[in-house]
């Protein structure tokens, strides 16, 4: 059972990859899980069925859609104790080719999605005097990337956003950041699966979604932790 007093968790971008594994892990820990998706309804409903949860459609870049989703979750499943902002996408584009639309979409999905979810769940969490928010960033926010400056900018902003929220919302609500390293999902470039890359990783491999889900559950329920950046990355970044 959950350790927050409330047993409902919402995970955005939960139809596949890290989001799916997180929904499964939270369900295994006793949470009723709201599985958010933007487009892949069939996959989201399959995840929801497998964890005895419910699927909820909402583009996290749309503030009204997220607010409506949170309202539905609280009416249908109960008070949200844990909110995981995971929805996102990755693309490699050199700075010369990042047009205004690409830049805007990257920020609206990653940073805007976290903002919209947080703004929607905070009032009820605050009124109950408890809650836990986890923002999923990336190890690239800690080291940069020569191919995805807009992605790194969005993920780096998530870290600053989360740290600021941790101070603002304490002591009732804890806010933490998980910044995964290379993980075996469809978003990972093929070159990062090759031995030429994995041989440079201290643990000599890429991660698996359940390992990141375990990190998310851990920090979501770590009752004396807020404002932390937890980066399960196989040793790619050692701080």
- Whether the Cβ atoms of residue 173 and residue 131 lie closer than 8 Å to each other: yes
- Whether the Cβ atoms of residue 166 and residue 224 lie closer than 8 Å to each other: no
Catalytic member of 31, 56, 151, 230: 151
Q: Number of helices (H) and strands (E), helices first, in the chain?
A: 8, 7
Report residue 173 as tokens. Answer: 């609500």
- Whether the Cβ atoms of residue 8 and residue 78 lie closer than 8 Å to each other: yes
Report residue 42 as tokens. Answer: 């069939």
Active site residue 56: no
CA atoms of 208 and 238, how far apart (whole Å): 19
State the catalytic residues.
151
């Amino acid at each position: 059972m959950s350790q927050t007093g409330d047993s409902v968790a919402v995970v955005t971008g939960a139809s596949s990859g890290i989001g799916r594994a997180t929904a499964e892990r939270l369900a295994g820990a006793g949470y009723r899980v709201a599985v958010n998706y933007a487009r892949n309804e069939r996959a989201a409903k399959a995840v929801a069925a497998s964890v005895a949860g419910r699927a909820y459609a909402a583009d996290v870049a749309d503030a009204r859609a997220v607010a409506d989703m949170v309202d539905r979750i609280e009416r249908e499943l109960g008070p949200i104790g844990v909110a995981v902002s995971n929805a996102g996408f990755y693309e490699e584009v050199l700075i010369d080719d990042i047009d205004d639309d690409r830049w805007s979409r990257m920020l609206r999905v990653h940073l805007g999605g976290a903002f919209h979810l947080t703004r929607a769940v905070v009032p009820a969490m605050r009124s109950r005097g408890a809650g836990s928010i986890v923002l999923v960033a990336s190890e690239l926010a800690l080291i940069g990337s020569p191919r995805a400056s807009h992605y790194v900018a969005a993920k780096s902003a998530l870290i600053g956003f989360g740290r600021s929220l941790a101070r603002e919302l304490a002591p009732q609500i804890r806010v933490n950041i998980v910044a995964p390293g290379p993980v075996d999902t469809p978003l990972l470039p093929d070159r990062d699966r090759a031995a030429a890359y994995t041989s440079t990783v201290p643990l000599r491999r890429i991660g698996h979604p359940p390992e990141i889900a375990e990190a998310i559950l851990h920090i979501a329920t770590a009752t004396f932790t807020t404002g932390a950046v937890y980066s399960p990355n196989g040793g790619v970044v050692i701080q």
